[in-house]
A and B are shown apart, each in its own frame.
Chain A
Amino acid sequence: IVMTQSPATLSVSPGERATLSCRASQSVSSNLAWYQQKPGQAPRLLIYGASTRATGIPARFSGSGSGTEFTLTISSLQSEDFAVYYCQQYNKWPRGFGGGTKVEIK
């Protein structure tokens, strides 16, 4: 299963909304996760089951979608949210990640 993320880079001003997309080449049901990675750090799980926030993740992060089309929305970007975001399917083997979306300050 090939995971494709768009856009590759998203320029957003603090306080604005960011919408990130992830597409799977075949259905992954709702077995889709989103991760956030900051420079020099390991990725952190944000969303699993396509729409469930992981422990400690702020409510401004939300996920939606099922099947092949998924979206991660950050409702009001904070300074700490500028990072790279990856989607990943865990419905089938081999596990696969998207190429990432870098959210940068506009």
Chain B
Amino acid sequence: QITLKESGPTLVKPTQTLTLTCTFSGFSLSTSGVGVGWIRQPPGKALEWLALIYWDDDERYSPSLRSRLIITKDTSKNQVVLTMTNMDPVDTATYYCVHSGEFQPFDYWGQGTLVTVSS
């Protein structure tokens, strides 16, 4: 059974860099076609896709946030890491880790982690 879990700081200061880790089980990110990504949701607002990395190291990013994001994977640890620089209060949101595939929806979601940006 596929599970994903996000971890990282709950509070960051403006201008700081956020690093979130997704630890997953039930699948391998070395399997052809598999991808893991990140989606966020500000309180009371809609979902926003951020980034996704595939089994073959293909990386995809939201154009509006591309300059601030880096997504990496560690296949041996079953982890995907998202780094977001220059955090701002508008980045306050619940950040979700998701499983996907090529031309596939986001079929498995982590529970999400709320990140607050405040001084």
Contact = CB atoms under 8 A, between A and B. Distances in A.
Interface in A66-100: 86, 88, 90-91, 93-100
A44 B105 CA distance: 11
Contacts of A31: 103
A97 B107 contact: no
Nearest to A46: B105
B107 to A, nearest CB: 5
B65 to A, nearest CB: 10
B20 to A, nearest CB: 15
Contacts, number: 53
B112 A42 contact: yes
Nearest to B4: A42
A45 interface: yes
B28 to A, nearest CB: 20
B105 A48 contact: yes
Interface of B: 37, 46-49, 52, 60-63, 96, 100, 103-112
For the complex of A and B, 8 pairs with smallest distance between CB atoms: A33-B105, A42-B109, A95-B49, A97-B47, A48-B105, A99-B46, A45-B107, A94-B62
